[in-house]
Amino acid sequence: ALKTLPRHMISLSDYSAEQIAALVESAADFKRKTKEEGQTYHPDAPLRGQTVALLFSKRSTRTRVASESSIAYLGGHAMFLGKEDIQLSVNESLRDSAQVISSMVDGIFARVGAHSEITTLAEHSSVPVINALCDENHPTQILADLLTIWEVYGGRRPGASTMFDVFRGLRVAWVGDANNIVYEMLAAMPKCGFDMRVCTPAKYPIPESVRVRAQGDAEKAKVSVEYFTDPLDAVRDADIIVTDTWVSMGQEAEKAQRLRDFQGYQVSREMAEKGGAKSDWTFMHCLPRKPEEVTDEVFYSDRSVVFQEAENRKWTILAAFAALLPKKN
Ligand code: CP
Ligand code: NVA
C-alpha cells in the first residue's frame, strides 16, 4: 500500500484505510528499530542530498521538532522557512512562492491558515506537499493518534491480529470545538473501523461536507458516526475521549466569546462518570493544551496518553516523509 500513496498528503480523506494502516505500521517499525535496536538513522539515507522546505506560517512545537529531526534521520536537509523569513504573503503570492521554492527543493511540509492555501501550494508545486496543519486538516496528527491507539489497545485486545481488529468497535468521543482535528478524525477514523460520537456546541456545528464524507465512509465500514451537543450523551460507553483547545491558532480575537460558548465542555472525571464512559477510558489531546478544556486530574492521570501521542508525531512524520518524499526512480 505504501507504493501506491497519493503524491501529496493534504488530508487522510484522500488515503484508503490500507494506505493509512501501512503508514502507521511503518511508523511503528521505525519506532521499534530506533528504541529497541538502537538504529539512529535510516541505513539507506533515502533523503541524502535532498532538501525539504518546512514552510510554517504558524507556531509549532511538535510538528516542527518531529519534522526537522525526521529529515535528519533520513539523511536530508531541513530548511525551516518561518513567516518572517521569506517574501511569501508580504511581497509575493503563494502561487509564485510555490513554483519558486519547489524548483529548488525535493519536498514541502507546510503549516498554513486556510485550506485553500495548502491546495494552492500542491497545485503549483513540482514536488510533494505534505500538510503540517491547515484550518480544516491535520493528517500527520491523526496518523500519530492511530499509532497511539494501536499501541494502547493492541495490548488490551490479545485476540486481535490486524490493526483493524484492534480498532473495530472502539468508540471515540470528541468533546470540543468543530475544528481541524475533529474534521481530520472524521476523515480517517470511520473508514478504519471506529465508531465516533462527536459533541460540539450547537453554535459550532460540523460542516455538512465533512459529515457527508464521514457518513459514506461509516456506511462502507459498517460503523456509526453520531453528533451531539451534550457531552454527557457523547461520552456514553466511550473507550477514548478526545478534545483540543477551544481557541485555535488564528482565533485569538474570539477567545472571550469562545470561553463562554464552551462552558460545560471541560473533560473531567465527573463528566466521564456521569455520562457513563467505559471504566478504562483513555484520554487523548493533540496538544498544546490549555487548562480550560481538560482538568489537570485527567490530563496528568494514568489514563491520559497525551505524551505518548505527542512522541508518536515523530514516528509517524518520519514514516510519512520516508514514504512520500524520496525521489522515485
Ligand atoms: N499537535 C501539534 O500539531 O502541535 P504543534 O502545534 O506544537 O506542532
Ligand atoms: N486546533 C489547533 C490544533 C493545534 C495543533 C489549532 O489549529 O490551533
- Ligand 2 contacts (CB < 6 A) are 133, 179-181, 244-245, 248-249, 286
Backbone angles phi, psi at 26, to 5 degrees: -65, -40
CB-CB neighbours of 179 under 10 Å = 22
Kind of pairing between the strands at 282-285 and 129-131: unpaired
pLDDT per position in the chain (329 positions), as tens? 899 999 999 999 999 999 999 999 999 999 999 999 999 999 999 999 999 999 999 999 999 999 999 999 999 999 999 999 998 888 999 999 999 999 999 999 999 999 999 999 999 999 999 999 999 999 999 999 999 999 999 989 888 999 999 999 999 999 999 999 999 999 999 999 999 999 999 999 999 999 999 999 999 999 999 999 999 999 999 999 999 999 999 999 999 999 999 999 999 999 999 999 999 999 999 999 999 999 999 999 999 999 999 999 999 999 999 999 998 75
Atom of ligand 1 nearest to the CA of 249: 6
pTM, full prediction: 0.98
The full set of domains in the chain, from first to last, is 2-137+313-324 (3.40.50.1370), 141-310 (3.40.50.1370)
Q: Which residue of 54, 56, 58, 60 sits with most ligand 1 atoms within 8 Å of its CB, as the best mutation to test the pocket?
A: 60
- Distant-in-sequence, close-in-space partners of 30: CB < 8 Å, separation ≥ 6: 73, 315, 318, 319, 322
Q: Which ligand is nearest to the CA of 243?
A: 2
Residue minimizing CA distance to atom 3 of ligand 1: 63
State the CB neighbour count (10 A cutoff) for residue 204: 15
| Prediction ipTM score | 0.99
